[in-house]
Amino acid sequence: MLLKFPPSVPDNQKRDLTSQILDWCLTNGVVFENSDKPGNGLNVPVTLFPTPFSRHGYKNAIELQVLYNSLYHAVFKHPEFVIEQLSQLKEDEFTMKLLSIYENCSKRRTQNLTGGVFRSDYIVDKSRNSGEEGRQIKQVEFNTVSVSFGALSSKVTELHKFLAETAKTSVHGEVPVSKSLRDIAKGLATMHSAYGCQQAILLFVTQPNETNVMDQRLLEYELYREYGIISVRATLEQIHRKTTIGEQNRLIFIPTGAEISVVYYRAGYAPHEYATAADWTARERLEGSHAIQCPSIMTQLIGTKKIQQVLTKPGVIEQLQPNLTNTEIELIRKTFVGLWPLDETDLGKEGQKLAMQSPEKFVLKPQREGGGNNIYKKDIVKHLENIGHENWSSYVLMELIDPPKISNTILRNGDLVTGRVVSELGVFGTVLWDIEANKELMNNQAGFLLRTKTQKSNEGGIAAGFGCLDAVLLLSSR
Amino acid sequence: MLLKFPPSVPDNQKRDLTSQILDWCLTNGVVFENSDKPGNGLNVPVTLFPTPFSRHGYKNAIELQVLYNSLYHAVFKHPEFVIEQLSQLKEDEFTMKLLSIYENCSKRRTQNLTGGVFRSDYIVDKSRNSGEEGRQIKQVEFNTVSVSFGALSSKVTELHKFLAETAKTSVHGEVPVSKSLRDIAKGLATMHSAYGCQQAILLFVTQPNETNVMDQRLLEYELYREYGIISVRATLEQIHRKTTIGEQNRLIFIPTGAEISVVYYRAGYAPHEYATAADWTARERLEGSHAIQCPSIMTQLIGTKKIQQVLTKPGVIEQLQPNLTNTEIELIRKTFVGLWPLDETDLGKEGQKLAMQSPEKFVLKPQREGGGNNIYKKDIVKHLENIGHENWSSYVLMELIDPPKISNTILRNGDLVTGRVVSELGVFGTVLWDIEANKELMNNQAGFLLRTKTQKSNEGGIAAGFGCLDAVLLLSSR
């Protein structure tokens, strides 16, 4: 039986709680930086209470991460398979450009190690099963590049645990703290250590005018405090000017002459980020260098929706990972929703038919990473008609997930908004792979993230102004 | 020999450093809160580099703290002495009102324990001695109420240590980290523990529209994290509405029914804070309750300039503390500058004469705590003439300290200002006294604070918009 949620709190207590949350955010770096006014920060939008989440689904998602990390390693081990799949997107210049850099660089590769900080995102689906125990998480996407909010999730879950324990918010249940800040830093430190040069530095590839800076800086400070590793930050444009290739293909940071051990991308996933030829030159220099890429281009590309869709096809997992047990395959497969290409294959034609006949059941997503460009329900038909048939294959059609009905209050820009919300659970993973030996040197689950949006907004991008950061509330089952 | 300071840094490196400092401040709570726009924070002004400070003076100030704590305990043990001194300020309504509450409450006192978080402030004086070893710190004031920046000082000293170690700021020397956040929290936890009720809560008395909130919240979070102690915050006006006296004179926080163990004042030191009768009623309720006052009214009153001035009179320390060794007395006395009352005593008449004849050597300070109301040099004569002779006795005349010539760059509101600076070192102390037994139950040094201002501004109040937070740089002596 679910307890009453959200707790009914009188207005003056809501004001106290709001003030406590805002102060906690400002004190603990849960802020976005105003890129126009240096030194100005604004609290990251958060929920007033942690949101109830299926205990079974939470446990399931956490346990699945190492299986998913391995599944994506299996994909990575078959570059010819990835290239074949992505070659179907040949009208997508961005993917084609990345593939060509991949091919150029793999010929002259000197670094056998490649890293990843991943996040697998899920929404609980209530339509297919009834009752708490039967609730099933469904995968929204698997992210392999520029995964964010690992550090801030640790902070926000700490905030909600603190409030539950001290502020008498009447929240009854367990509020787990995400160890993502510690664990992602540990993952990066493992990559640095594997590079084998303690005095080398780590390079954060960043976007110009980034506002979600604290989420990255927290990792930088953790890396220094816990491991003595120094990091620098640079945009692709700055990397073009400030790095060079030294002896033995080493990547050198010119201002200090330091060798770079790991290139950690918090940018570089979207076409608009490569505005000039210099940006592409920078990316190719990084990819072709001896520094460990986190992620390399191939790892970035296996995170496309195209690969996610192909993995749902019967037999594909079994073919990529013949050693998986039936139980493991079933665990993964249960998180899949229906996914169709919209190309001219048989499956693609089925997808086209579904999209036109029952669009209310689907969301249309661009093949690439990014967010913010999804098309929902009846808008799908109009959109497909507008873009012309020849561009349909750059989308995948995805079955909509039907989340449970929950209300909560979101605190954004000092205002409280109460209403129906949808929560998305992301689980982080860190990996290190040896390309030559085809081996997983590291495969870890690395904490989690709960993002919550009001049901009206379709996207959950927090930095973009929708949704907010949240914490998982595991209600007592009695 | 002093090394070149500040280091000459090219402009682009200064930009990088600025960006690093601003991000570090926003990530670690080194912000002032905008009281008009909840959830908005602005970085606290800081120096770009830690400022060189006499190693001898720094060591001296740290060591002196327990002696000063004890000296003020000796003053506290002689309330009749304090009352006699302060009765000379009978035209000061605020002090008289505090004294009358003290007298009312001491009759019905049930709590034998009283606490304090103190800060003794010093400036290095270069005029009286030459050479690094000979440099002497001179006491500016001894603060016994609403002492601030303990938490932020820990953060800013960590920042400068981090930058010195990672950002190649060319700062050569030692940058000690102040343990004030940890140590002040420990002091408050000791008071809480001495109260003897673990589930009781701590009350922070705060000012309305406070901007220096993070400095207080950091202590609150540390108290919870390290000791499991829950704190609440309330202004005097809120305390009037939200507290009551329960059984056995216990102070009760009405919203939760919790018993209050320690009343920690981050407010209540200035007349304008007692705008209504309710504010005075609130203060009297706190003072007369069983909760440990940090500080009690008597402890607050011994921090007046009047007492500081009286302590410099020959023989007074010896009379209050007959057990001090000559060495200890000498250590304390060396930090004194000349202090004169401006009353009708012999010493007061000497002060009046000095003020009119050689004002350029002096600063005129109100008898009370506060800051922001000091009058310097030739302005003294005009001021004294304006206020009328009958009001002279509410001031003390203090010899000016002549600080060493040092330049640094201050970062405020995103702008860099370079020039001559003056630094003031504050050393924190925590005490717990048993009134009946006349015993010191706790006497600790609790970290330090360096505040730096441009030489033009005469006041060092940071929250008020002058000056900035800084860290001590102990240069190598070779």
Q: How confident is the model at residue B373 (pLDDT cuts 50, 70, 90)?
A: confident
Residues 405-424 (A) with a CB less than 8 A from some CB of B: 411, 413-414
Q: What are phi and psi of A143, to 5 degrees?
A: -100, 130
Q: Is the peptide bond before B6 cis (omega within 30 degrees of 0)?
A: yes
How many CB atoms within 10 Å of residue B405?
10
> Which one-letter DSSP state was computed for residue B248?
G
Q: pTM for this structure?
A: 0.94
Is the pLDDT at B227 greater than 50, yes or no? yes
B23 reaches A (C-beta below 8 A): yes
Active site residue A439: no
Determine the distance in angstroms separating the CA of A193 from the nearest CA of chain B, rounded to an integer.
18
Residues A417-427 as b/e (b if ≥16 CB within 10 A, e otherwise) read: eeeebbbbbbb
Report how far residue B191's alpha carbon sits from residue B174's, in angstroms, rounded to the nearest whole number. 33
Residues B277-287 as b/e (b if ≥16 CB within 10 A, e otherwise) read: eebbebbbbbb
pLDDT digit of tens for each residue in chain A (478 aa)?
Answer: 344 577 778 888 888 899 999 999 999 999 999 888 888 999 999 999 999 999 999 999 999 999 999 999 999 999 999 999 998 888 889 999 999 999 999 999 999 999 999 999 999 998 765 555 567 999 999 999 999 999 999 999 999 999 999 876 667 789 999 999 999 999 999 999 999 999 999 999 999 999 999 999 999 999 999 999 999 999 999 999 999 999 999 999 999 999 999 999 999 999 999 999 999 999 999 999 999 999 999 999 999 999 999 999 999 999 999 999 999 999 999 999 999 999 999 999 999 999 999 999 999 998 875 456 789 999 999 999 999 998 898 899 999 998 998 999 999 988 898 888 999 999 999 999 999 999 999 999 999 999 999 877 555 555 444 689 999 999 865 4
Specify the pairing of strand B439-454 against strand A339-341: unpaired
Is the pLDDT at B3 greater than 50, yes or no? no
Is the pLDDT at B132 greater than 60, yes or no? no
The residue in chain A having the minimum alpha-carbon distance to the alpha carbon of residue B230 is A166
CA distances from B72 to B21, B56, B84, B276, B435 (A): 38, 24, 16, 31, 13
| Cβ-proximal residues to B437 (8 Å cutoff; 6+ apart), any chain | B112
Q: Is the peptide bond before B295 cis (omega within 30 degrees of 0)?
A: yes
Report how far residue A148's alpha carbon sits from residue B314's, in angstroms, rounded to the nearest whole number. 65
Instruction: Name the strand (E) or helix (H) holding A104.
Output: helix A93-107
Chain B residues within 8 A of A39 when measuring between CB atoms: 22, 25-26, 42-43, 411, 413-414
> Would the CB atoms of B162 and A221 count as touching at under 8 Å?
yes
pLDDT for the residue B90: 80
CB B32 within 8 A of CB B22: no
Own/partner pairs for B98-107, CB < 8 Å, 24+ apart?
Answer: B98/B297, B98/B300, B98/B301, B99/B297, B99/B301, B101/B280, B101/B283, B101/B284, B101/B287, B101/B297, B102/B287, B102/B296, B102/B297, B102/B298, B102/B301, B104/B284, B104/B288, B105/B284, B105/B287, B105/B288, B105/B297, B106/B79
Is the pLDDT at B465 greater than 90, yes or no? no
Report how far residue A166's alpha carbon sits from residue B358's, in angstroms, rounded to the nearest whole number. 58
Which tokens sit at A184? 């992602």
- Pick the range with the lowest mean pLDDT from B20-34, B363-377, B410-424: B363-377
Strand partners, B426: B121, B449
Most confident of the ranges A161-170, B90-99, B444-453:
B444-453
**Is pLDDT larger for residue B129 or for residue A375?**
A375
Residues 123-152 (B) with a CB less than 8 A from some CB of A: none
The residue in chain B having the minimum alpha-carbon distance to the alpha carbon of residue A43 is B39
pLDDT for the residue B478: 41
pLDDT for the residue B393: 87
Q: Is B251 helix (H, G, I), strand (E, B) or coil?
A: strand
Tens digits of residue pLDDT in B253-296: 999 999 999 999 999 999 999 999 999 999 999 999 999 999 99
Question: What is the average per-residue pLDDT within B75-87?
Answer: 95
| Cβ-proximal residues to A465 (8 Å cutoff; 6+ apart), any chain | none
pLDDT for the residue B307: 94
Determine the distance in angstroms separating the CA of B196 from the nearest CA of chain A, rounded to an integer.
20
pLDDT for the residue A464: 47
Using CB atoms, which residue from A29, A39, A411 is nearest to B414? A39
- Pick the range with the lowest mean pLDDT from A426-440, B129-143, B371-385: B129-143
Using CB atoms, which residue from A22, A29, A33 is nearest to B39? A22
pLDDT for the residue A3: 44
The residue in chain A having the minimum alpha-carbon distance to the alpha carbon of residue B201 is A166
**Is pLDDT larger for residue B305 or for residue A1?**
B305
Tens digits of residue pLDDT in A378-413: 999 999 999 999 889 889 999 999 899 899 999 998
> Which one-letter DSSP state was computed for residue A189?
H
Residue type, A266: R
CB A417 within 8 A of CB A454: yes
Q: How many CA atoms lie within 13 A of A83 on its CB side?
A: 11
Report how far residue B235's alpha carbon sits from residue B238's, in angstroms, rounded to the nearest whole number. 5
> Would the CB atoms of A27 and B218 count as touching at under 8 Å?
yes
pLDDT for the residue A5: 72
Active site residue A372: no
> How many residues are there in chain B?
478
**Is pLDDT larger for residue B252 or for residue A3?**
B252
A40 reaches B (C-beta below 8 A): yes
Report how far residue A145's alpha carbon sits from residue B474's, in angstroms, rounded to the nearest whole number. 44
- Pick the range with the lowest mean pLDDT from A403-412, B152-161, B450-459: B450-459
Report how far residue B64's alpha carbon sits from residue B43's, in angstroms, rounded to the nearest whole number. 32
pLDDT for the residue B1: 32
